[in-house]
């Protein structure tokens, strides 16, 4: 007698096969979205940097290197006694900068070079003290009598050397569209912070060309951006009818905003008293040009530019009032990063669904 098999194989109908496959695919998409959310949340806290920085000390104190305890800002006496100059690493119109050493830590000592610009120097010190945050280079000490400022040292230097840094073998892995977009996000985060700072709406005036902008920021070893030079940071106070002017000379070129250029034509010589003031939207005008530098020409950067086209076009509107706020630009940048990371993680998902 023929034995019957204990188990019969049941073939699923084509419709059920499709339904099961689609269910698995949807489950995979949901799982991936959850993982992507966790990654981006971590990114905004650590790489994108949350607003509160647990590494910061109370006002008037700093923490350096692996030391856990906070130390008070160094006084004139402490700087003269404990800080040793190593070499001059830069000089601008206002100050000379020295790579120095304090208790086996590399630090930066800045000293006034032009006594006529001491007000600018002291304004920069005032801003540095008041704006200490994750966006601003760390203050270690100062001496007003000797016009000296001591700050944290960042070996990668200013953003002018970004492309050279990304070609160093150690950092080549960072030379990707998403890392570069993250730097652009960091930059816009700094602008947003300045526009909504504890002191009010501040305008980054040392920004008349791209090279000048890049020189105002440092690249940290963990690839974040810190604003370093705060000498030219005037305050906009709309309620008091107070706008700003970046300097007393005529500004030219497409990099500066239209409202920063002499509005009365070549036939009328420039006069500072007749130059209309403006607000923080001059910073917004410059964002696309600075971000274009950050994005570079790596694989995928053109796709990023395409997604940022609309917000960048809005930044370049001639009427400052029609330009977006720094917060709106930042929100758009973050949405684009999220979208492109999701698409990179699951290419073709949209077509399959």
pLDDT, tens digit, 9 for 90 and up, residues 248-269: 999 999 999 999 999 999 899 9
Q: What is the mean pLDDT of residues 138-167?
A: 97
How far apart CA 55 and CA 224 sit, in angstroms, is: 15
Residue 315 has pLDDT above 60, yes or no: yes
Rg of the chain (C-alpha set)? 26
pLDDT band for 46, please (50, 70, 90 cuts): very low
- pTM for the model: 0.84
Q: CB of 210 within 8 A of CB of 216? A: no
Per residue in 179-207, pLDDT tens?
999 999 999 999 999 999 999 999 999 99
Q: CB of 305 within 8 A of CB of 333? A: no
Looking at the chain, the whole-number percentage of residues with pLDDT higher than 70 is 82
Residue 25 has pLDDT above 70, yes or no: no
In the numeric block, which tokens belong to residue 96?
């000379």
Higher per-residue confidence, 161 vs 32: 161
Give the domain ranges of the chain. Answer: 70-153, 156-345
Q: Report CA dihedral (272, 276, 277, 283) to the nearest 10 degrees.
A: -100
Per residue in 92-112, pLDDT tens?
888 999 999 999 999 999 999
Residue 108: φ, ψ to 5°: -120, 125
In the numeric block, which tokens belong to residue 307?
């997604």
pLDDT at 49: 46
Q: In sequence order, which ranges of the chain are alpha helices (DSSP H)?
A: 14-42, 76-82, 118-130, 162-166, 177-195, 210-215, 281-295, 301-307, 309-315, 326-345, 349-352
Q: Would you say the CATH fold of 156-345 matches that of 70-153? A: no
* Nearest Cα to Cα of residue 318 among 270, 346, 278: 278
Contact partners, residue 316, CB within 8 Å, separation at least 6: 285, 288, 323
Per residue in 107-129, pLDDT tens?
999 999 998 999 999 999 999 99
* Nearest Cα to Cα of residue 107 among 85, 133, 134, 91: 85
DSSP structure class, residue 160? G
Q: What is the mean pLDDT of residues 266-282?
A: 96
Q: Report CA dihedral (125, 130, 133, 138) to the nearest 10 degrees.
A: 30
Note the CATH number of domain 156-345: 1.10.510.10
Pick the CATH number of 70-153 from 3.40.50.300, 3.30.200.20, 3.40.50.11260, 3.40.50.1360: 3.30.200.20
Chain mean pLDDT for the chain? 88
pLDDT at 68: 82
322-332 core/surface letters (b: 16 or more CB in 10 A; e: else): ebbebebbbeb
Contact partners, residue 124, CB within 8 Å, separation at least 6: 94, 149, 229, 230, 231, 233
């Amino acid at each position: 007698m023929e034995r019957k098999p204990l188990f019969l194989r049941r073939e699923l109908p084509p419709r059920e096969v499709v339904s099961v496959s689609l269910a698995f695919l949807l489950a995979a998409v949901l799982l991936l979205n959850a993982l992507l959310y966790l990654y981006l949340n971590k990114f905004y806290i650590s790489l994108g940097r949350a607003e509160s920085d647990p590494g910061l000390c109370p006002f008037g104190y700093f923490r350096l290197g692996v030391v856990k305890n906070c130390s008070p800002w160094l006084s004139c006496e402490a700087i003269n006694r404990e800080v040793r100059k190593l070499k001059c690493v830069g000089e601008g119109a206002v100050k000379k900068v020295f790579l120095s050493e304090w208790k086996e830590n590399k630090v930066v000592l800045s000293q006034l070079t032009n006594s006529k610009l001491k007000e600018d120097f002291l304004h920069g010190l005032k801003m540095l003290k008041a704006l200490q945050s994750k966006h601003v280079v760390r203050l270690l000490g100062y001496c007003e009598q000797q016009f000296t400022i001591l700050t944290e040292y960042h070996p990668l230097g200013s953003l002018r050397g970004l492309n050279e840094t990304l070609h160093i073998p150690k950092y080549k892995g960072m030379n990707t569209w998403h890392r570069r977009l993250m730097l652009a996000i960091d930059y816009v985060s700094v602008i947003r912070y300045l526009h909504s700072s504890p002191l009010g709406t501040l305008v980054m005036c040392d920004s008349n060309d791209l090279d000048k902008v890049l020189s105002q920021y440092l690249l940290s070893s963990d690839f974040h951006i810190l604003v370093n030079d705060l000498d030219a940071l005037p305050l906009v106070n709309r309620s008091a009818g107070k706008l700003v002017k970046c300097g007393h000379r005529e500004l030219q070129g497409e990099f500066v905003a239209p409202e920063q250029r002499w509005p009365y034509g070549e036939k009328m010589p420039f006069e500072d008293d007749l130059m209309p003031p403006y607000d923080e939207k001059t910073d917004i005008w410059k964002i696309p040009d600075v971000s274009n530098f950050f994005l570079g020409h790596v694989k995928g950067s053109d796709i990023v530019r395409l997604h940022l086209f609309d917000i960048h076009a809005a930044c370049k509107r001639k009427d400052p009032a029609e330009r977006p706020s720094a917060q709106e630009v930042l929100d758009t940048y973050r949405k684009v990063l999220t979208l492109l990371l999701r698409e990179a993680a699951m290419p073709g998902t949209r077509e399959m669904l």
